[in-house]
Amino acid sequence: MEFTRLIEQRRSTRVFDGTPLSGDLANELLYAASKAPNACNFQSWHFYALDQANIRKLVPDVYRGDWILRAGAAFVICTEDGKLTERFGERGKMFALQDTAAAMTMILLKAADLGWSGCWLGAFDPESCRKVLDIPEGREPVAIAVIGRTENIPPQRERKPLETVCTMVGDFTAAESSGTEPEPFALRTGNYRGAVFFDLNLMDAAFDDVSLHGARFNNINMSGTRFTDINLQNASYAGVNMAGTRFGARDAEDICVSMEKAEFTQVSFAEAVLRCCKLQNVKLEGCDLTGLTIDGMSAKEYFSK
């Protein structure tokens, strides 16, 4: 999933549908955790991965909320700060805590990336947890991530306005005016038949009222791009990231994007939205269609009708 969408999609979820998390997925989450930044790369953490049946061991002594029983798995994260305190004294403990926080964040973000939800639990009883999981001295349980499946994604929780929690030191407007953040690419009204786009970053670009008949797009980041009122017939796309891209206006009622005979090879359409597109004889090869919707249907539903 495109990163900004991922961080917006993640939110604490406390209602799950009871689907168990497979060992493969648990390993994917643990792999993400292991890639977190950590002090001296000592990796001063230890993870206990509990499958769904074993979550029961946590309720009610370790954590009193029985909603976690419907999660698919739980990850108890401990600090193991021996090496860090040897080197940095008391400060080493704080480093280890930060390591585990970074690892937790990775677990929750990776879960969201895979279409799962979760919640970070801090308000649990660490001593009961130690007993239940037989955690040895030298390891401190600091947090639990419960991960589950749900259709009931809660709304995003508001954050304070950035200016109330940020102190900007220095003059960032100078960087803005020096043009380090270019405006997203836009192509409006015209005939660009057969145009070639190659090795470009066109993130968040806009294409409106243009003919790109037979155009070729190769090795391009087009995530978040908008295509409205476009002729893309016979166009070809290879190695293109179209995650979160929108084809067709939100309020379109008639065909506004013609894509007949267009060819897409190794294109990511993750979370992309197609509306009012003509898709006859479109060829898709090795494309990621995760979360793609076409006229409100999943790609699978659309192509099987």
Ligand X SMILES: Cc1cc2nc3c(=O)[nH]c(=O)nc-3n(C[C@H](O)[C@H](O)[C@H](O)COP(=O)(O)O)c2cc1C
Smallest distance, ligand X to C-beta of residue 119, A:
5
Residues 3-32 that bind ligand X (CB under 6 A): 11-12, 14
Query: Among residues 53, 90, 123, 173, which is the contact residue for ligand X, using CB under 6 A?
Result: 123
The answer for residues whose C-beta is within 8 angstroms of residue 109's C-beta and 6 or more apart is: 6, 7, 10, 32
**Of residues 123 and 169, the one with the C-beta less far from ligand X:** 123
- 55 three-class SS: helix
* Other beta carbons less than 10 A from residue 152's beta carbon: 10
Please give the size of the binding site for ligand X, defined by CB under 6 A. Answer: 9
**Of residues 36 and 121, the one with the C-beta less far from ligand X:** 121
Smallest distance, ligand X to C-beta of residue 56, A:
18
Distance of alpha carbon 289 from alpha carbon 298, whole angstroms: 9
Query: Among residues 24, 53, 89, 122, which is the contact residue for ligand X, using CB under 6 A?
Result: 122
Distance of alpha carbon 16 from alpha carbon 135, whole angstroms: 27
Smallest distance, ligand X to C-beta of residue 146, A:
9
In DSSP terms, which residues pair with 227 in a beta bridge? 207, 247
For ligand X, the nearest residue by Cβ is 122
16, 21, 136, 226, 243 from 29: Cα distances, Å: 18, 10, 24, 32, 22
The answer for residues whose C-beta is within 8 angstroms of residue 139's C-beta and 6 or more apart is: 46, 78, 79, 80
**Of residues 12 and 281, the one with the C-beta less far from ligand X:** 12
- Span interacting with ligand X, options 51-59, 81-89, 118-126, 273-281, rule CB under 6 A: 118-126
Site string for ligand X, 141-160 (x = CB under 6 A): ----------------x---
Smallest distance, ligand X to C-beta of residue 252, A:
33
Question: CA triplet 231, 299, 20: central angle to 5 degrees?
Answer: 150
> Contact at 8 Å (CB) between 104 and 115?
no
Question: CA triplet 294, 297, 299: central angle to 5 degrees?
Answer: 65
* 179 touches ligand X by CB under 6 A: no
- Span interacting with ligand X, options 49-57, 89-97, 114-122, 211-219, rule CB under 6 A: 114-122
- Span interacting with ligand X, options 79-87, 115-123, 212-220, 274-282, rule CB under 6 A: 115-123
User: Residues in the site for ligand X, rule: CB under 6 A?
Assistant: 11-12, 14, 119-123, 157
